[in-house]
Structure 1
Amino acid sequence: MIDTFIITICACISNLLHAVWRTLVSEPAGLPVPNEERGPSFRQLMEDLSPRQLAVKQLKQQFLDALLANDAQEVKQILHAAKLDIDTVLEVDDPSMMLASYKQGYWLPGYKLEKSWAMGIHVCVMYNAVETALVLLEEGAAINRMPNGKAPLHVACEASNDDCVALLLAHKAKVNSLSLSGHTPLHYCITSESVACAKQLLLKDAKVNMPSDNKEEDTPLHTAARFGVPELVALYLANGASVDAVNSLQETPLMTACFWAFDAKEQLYSQDHHLVCRLLLDHQADPNLREEDNKTALHKAAWNCDHILMQMLLEAGAYTRAMDINGCAPIQYLLKVTDVRPMAIPELCYQALLNHNAARIYPPQFHKVLQNCYDCPRAVEVMVNSYERLKPTNKWRDAIPDDCYKRHKDFYDSLFAVCANTPRSLLHLTRCAIRASLDGSCHRGVAQLPLPSPMKKYLLLEPEGILY
């Protein structure tokens, strides 16, 4: 009889476990089971069993709705009547991750996070709900807490809500506080609309040279240079920012701006980044400083095939023969990318380098120029005209695809005609003699010669479309 009782108890427990399991697992593959047949979900069962939890959830949602609507009276009523904790943590829609900040090395899922944790004050500054934010602060809301890695001041700066920044600073928000990712409020000023926020931070003694507390160690000036905000760069420089500050990779703000001046995805050049570089150079930024791989700002501009930045750097005294850790000078960086920068004008880049005493490609290796520049004959022309004479090798013709040769037949026929053992034209030899006499200062020397403008352009390797 005891055995029968034990068996009955075990069967009941087994049936109960199976029932619970069916509520927890997802629907099996196949046709969905109608709601009325499958019964209530586990979540519904829990809500039915926990009316107190359901009431709290509804109250939090009511509180969040009032915050999003900037309904200060409703917020005050909820806090007083319902006795809701003013610093309660809410789950808020945050597809742009403005409320979240994660420490480097933390594991994150591969999909994009759509929600973040935040307190009411975070929600207010995110949506510029100044009136509601004032109510919360007057009721004693915590001003420096970071439920998901950012304090309210970080969020206000990233959202460019300068009224909220002023309100937070007036209530003693920490002006140099670090987010979980190691950034100060100044690091979150990344648009021209956030200049007013940055001004207020600086008036409250924000540290303009404080590096981020992470592996990059960028200063706010690095951040402004990366995002290409000339107004912020000018503001930081006027407030004592170190123009040649280096981060953990030994990169200066000038190097950062040169690198990010080109959008590889959109194949566009940024005029704002160009203006940032102009500002930095006008404040005596050193164009010849080297980062950890010995690259200079000119290497980065050459990699982008950015003739405007290259000319700017060269006029500021950038050294054209500086070599990186692999022994590559800027002209070699330029060669590597000439055929993958469709929006660039590469012949201007080669002209700028060669007129500022860049080392030419070793003649027996000139076929590499053709391999990289075959579809840009004007760039090839500039390079060829920098030599007094150039002898072709068997690799030259193989480096030029047949279809490209047909497209630029007149030019390539002239190339193979003039590059032989016979001397080139007297005019070209005169050009080479004058350039050699200027001893690497062609850009300055030619400008001072009493010659007509077309002759000066000829001396500075201006391409004509054919070789003589």
Structure 2
Amino acid sequence: MDRDIVQRSQIFLDFEQNQHSHARKRRGPEAFHQALAHGDLSLLKVMVSEYREDVNLVFEICSKEMEWQAEPVALGISGLWSLEYKQELTSPLCIAASHGYTDCLQYLLQRGAKPNMIVGTKSALHTACENAHTDCTEVLLEHGANPRLLTEEGLSPLHLCDTAQSFWCAKLLLKFRADVNRLTEEDQESPLHVVARRGLHNHVHLFLRYGASVNVMNVHLESPLGSACASAWRLESQGDYLQVCKVLIMNGANVNSVDNEKRSPLHKASKNASLQLVQLLLRHNADVNAIDYNGCSPLANVIQTAPFKEELNPQWTVQTLLNHGSRRVWPAAFPKVMKSCAASPKTIEVLFNSYQQIQVTEKWMEVVPEEIFQLHQPFYESLFALACSPRSLQHLCRFAARKLFGNQCHTLIPRLPIPKCLCGYLLLEPEGLVY
């Protein structure tokens, strides 16, 4: 049995030697590229030391990709899938850095590879950071890679640290004096914009500790806080964005900064029905009645997107804005609200209950699709029944109390010595019916 093991081992060694021998016979860039692509250090040493392959060789990689080509024709647009040939330039260092082959990278640098050579659009350091290879990033920096070097698009390595896994790469770059406030050439975005948009709160902490400007504006006049609020649209990532915004605000972010369309962070958080973000911004004195260039308030933004955000319970955001003194929708425009929010009856209920009395008309009934009416029949029947009757005395008392408290409803009502259910009623908690 021992003899069989020895024979199998010898066969395996012979196979490996034959493979390397075959690669050596091929010589040239092809074998050199294969050694790099597979992280084969022994073969790489052979190609460089024996066959004198240039460690700064520029590889031209051709790839074939199917792309949709649209062609205008007489009756509209038609197209077809076309095979496109794409060329990409790369270098041995970039290949090793992209795969995380630290030993190959170390060897190439020892043999004279240039760490700051831009090939195609970026350097090896950009590639290592983009792929979150911490060890490769450290080796490159220790061998003189410039942490402030820009790609052809004007991106620094720090701009490419845009995933949670790239945190240690970012920390190394800053240790080697990367510019934390470097702006991209086209969009004028700082690294803080990038990580705020990605919801990377650890990166945000790190960049601020190294002096990142918290209120820097990009080409659209958007701050990192605005970028974070605009990006918090996925339910599963809202906690990350909440942490990002808390850190930014604690470090002096302006909650009422506006972009080139006059949209504030509250406009963006409301549009995403991000309840916790809305509450955070309002606690820090965000303007609940700010108007953007389209004439929309934060309340109007959440109403517009409510039908598409049902999983986020947009009625809670509407309720919060109203309890902080948001101006209500003009009564004559309520049919438009009914039309756009028909699939979100709780949103309609909260809005409707914020008025003392608003006339229900036949037009309201016409804009609600039959299938939605059937799906939420008890609510819509209770709403349309008010076409010929006034609101209840209980509701009128609620309206009077809310008018007295004004924009402090959220603070004063919970302090009242009343049952919790009555407190919820005063705060417009939806019940599923109106009366």
Q: Is TM-score (shorter-chain normalized) higher than 0.5? A: yes
1:116 partner SS: strand
Q: Is the 8 A contact 1:169 1:175 kept in 2?
A: yes
Q: 2:220 is matched with which residue: 249, 272, 276?
A: 249
Q: Tell me the equivalent position of 1:91.
A: 60
2:285 corresponds to 1:317: yes
Q: Tell me the equivalent position of 1:385.
A: 353
RMSD: 2.4
Superposition map of 1:26-425 within 5 A: 58-92=27-61, 116-214=88-186, 216-263=187-234, 270-418=238-386, 420=388, 422=390, 424-425=391-392
1:135 partner SS: helix
User: Offset at 1:190?
Assistant: 0.9
For each residue in 1:192-251, what CA deviation from the matched residue of structure 2 results, as whole angstroms up to 9, or x when unmatched? Answer: 11110100111111111111122x111001110122212111111222111111101000
* Aligned residue pairs, count: 397
Residue segments in structure 2 that go unaligned for 5+ positions in a row: 1-23, 66-80
User: Quick one: distance in 1 between partners of 2:413 and 2:258?
Assistant: 30
User: Offset at 1:153?
Assistant: 0.6
User: Quick one: distance in 1 between partners of 2:310 and 2:85?
Assistant: 36
CA distance 1:446–1:58, change in 2 (3 Å):
same
- Decide which structure has greater strand share: 2
- Decide which structure has greater helix share: 2
2:425 corresponds to 1:458: yes
User: Offset at 1:403?
Assistant: 2.7
Amino acid at match of 2:219: S
User: Quick one: distance in 2 between partners of 1:312 and 1:120?
Assistant: 49
Q: TM-score, normalised by structure 2?
A: 0.85
2:403 corresponds to 1:441: no
User: Offset at 1:387?
Assistant: 0.7
Shifted more, 68-77 versus 146-155: the winner is: 68-77
CA distance 1:62–1:145, change in 2 (3 Å):
same
CA distance 1:393–1:119, change in 2 (3 Å):
same
For each residue in 1:50-93, what CA deviation from the matched residue of structure 2 results, as whole angstroms up to 9, or x when unmatched? Answer: xxxxx998511111122223233332332232222221112358
CA distance 1:277–1:404, change in 2 (3 Å):
same
Percent of pairs identical after alignment? 34
User: Quick one: distance in 2 between partners of 1:410 and 1:69?
Assistant: 65
User: Quick one: distance in 1 between partners of 2:146 and 2:345?
Assistant: 59
User: Quick one: distance in 2 between partners of 1:245 and 1:288?
Assistant: 14
CA distance 1:172–1:255, change in 2 (3 Å):
same
CA distance 1:462–1:63, change in 2 (3 Å):
same
User: Quick one: distance in 2 between partners of 1:272 and 1:75?
Assistant: 43
User: Quick one: distance in 1 between partners of 2:228 and 2:409?
Assistant: 28
Q: Is the 8 A contact 1:157 1:185 kept in 2?
A: yes
User: Quick one: distance in 2 between partners of 1:112 and 1:345?
Assistant: 45
Amino acid at match of 1:313: L
Q: Tell me the equivalent position of 2:16.
A: none
Q: Is the 8 A contact 1:391 1:421 kept in 2?
A: no
* Structure of larger gyration radius: 1
1:440 partner SS: helix
Q: Tell me the equivalent position of 2:72.
A: none
User: Offset at 1:275?
Assistant: 2.5
Q: Is the 8 A contact 1:95 1:115 kept in 2?
A: no
Q: Tell me the equivalent position of 1:31.
A: none
Q: Is the 8 A contact 1:268 1:343 kept in 2?
A: no
Amino acid at match of 1:185: P
CA distance 1:151–1:95, change in 2 (3 Å):
farther
Q: 1:428 is matched with which residue: 385, 389, 395?
A: 395
User: Quick one: distance in 2 between partners of 1:280 and 1:138?
Assistant: 42
Shifted more, 447-456 versus 349-358: the winner is: 447-456
CA distance 1:207–1:317, change in 2 (3 Å):
same
User: Quick one: distance in 2 between partners of 1:189 and 1:155?
Assistant: 10
User: Quick one: distance in 2 between partners of 1:227 and 1:342?
Assistant: 23
CA distance 1:449–1:120, change in 2 (3 Å):
same
Residue segments in structure 1 that go unaligned for 5+ positions in a row: 1-54, 97-108
2:406 partner SS: coil
User: Quick one: distance in 1 between partners of 2:380 and 2:174?
Assistant: 60
Q: Is the 8 A contact 1:89 1:147 kept in 2?
A: yes
2:89 partner SS: strand
For each residue in 1:402-441, what CA deviation from the matched residue of structure 2 results, as whole angstroms up to 9, or x when unmatched? Answer: 232233232222213335563x222212211111111211
Q: TM-score, normalised by structure 1?
A: 0.80
Amino acid at match of 1:125: A
